Amino acid sequence: MEIIDLHNREVFSHEGRGVASLVDEPNLKIRQIGLESGKAVPVHTADATVTIQVVRGEGVFFVEGETVRMGQGKLLRIPLGASMAILNDSAASLVFLVIKTPQPEHSSRESAVDSRAGIFVNLVDFAPLKPGKEEAFREWFRHSSEVFAGHKGFISRTLLGPIEGGSRYAAIVEHESKETFMDMHLSDDREELFRQTEPLILGESKPHFYELLDSYRNK
């Protein structure tokens, strides 16, 4: 028997949000997420059947273009593949459980790269660099990659540079799953490191998300 004290597992970082992993099994994953007032979980796609239960507070939950306000006493069921986001628009803290039940046939697919299931790929299209900031940007990328490598599920992070006089860079980030990527995406490390790019780039960078299906490489 195992008892999990939800109150003791609440996580709020200095950035006002946090994630605590409560259960991590092949067919059951439970995370407790804390959002301070005004904080949000950005739009993403559910990579399993999801059940959300509010522990305390209330907030707005967006699922496939529909909006619902949730507090204690209700469960929100979200199907696999649905687009979802969460916003704490209240004055108090919002704490909720995210309960995922991956289907065996979905979680057991093998990657053509290394037989690990469901490799998640994030392609970041960086905004153009400010003049003279190339070396500082590359140094930022090296440092940030070292930090991100310490997060669970990290596989690789690759920087792609411009050719023929271009000014845009891109990055390919590989994670074991979308779940581990989102844990990193919501972390203080990510918030602080991307804030450091503001003096280096012109505008906002754009993320694109993919699931690795096949890979063919020369041996």
pTM equals: 0.54
- The pLDDT, as a whole number, for residue 109 is 39
CATH of the domain at 79: 2.60.120.10
Which residues does residue 129 pair with via DSSP β-bridges, in sequence order? Answer: 201
In single-letter form, the type of residue at position 135 comes to E
Is 111 a domain residue? no
Question: What burial letters (b/e) apply to 4-24, b meaning 16+ CB within 10 Å?
Answer: eeeeeebeeeebbbbbbebee
Q: Are 119 and 155 in contact (CB under 8 A)?
A: yes
Range of the domain at 154: 120-211
Is 109 a domain residue? no
Domain final residue, candidates 104, 139, 162: 104
Angle between helices 134-148 and 188-195 (to 10 degrees): 180
95 and 24 assigned to the same domain:
yes
What does residue 36 show for φ and ψ, rounded to 5 degrees? -75, 170
- Domain count for the chain: 2
pLDDT in tens, 132-178: 888 999 999 999 999 888 888 888 999 998 877 667 889 999 888 88
66 and 94 assigned to the same domain:
yes
Is 9 a domain residue? no
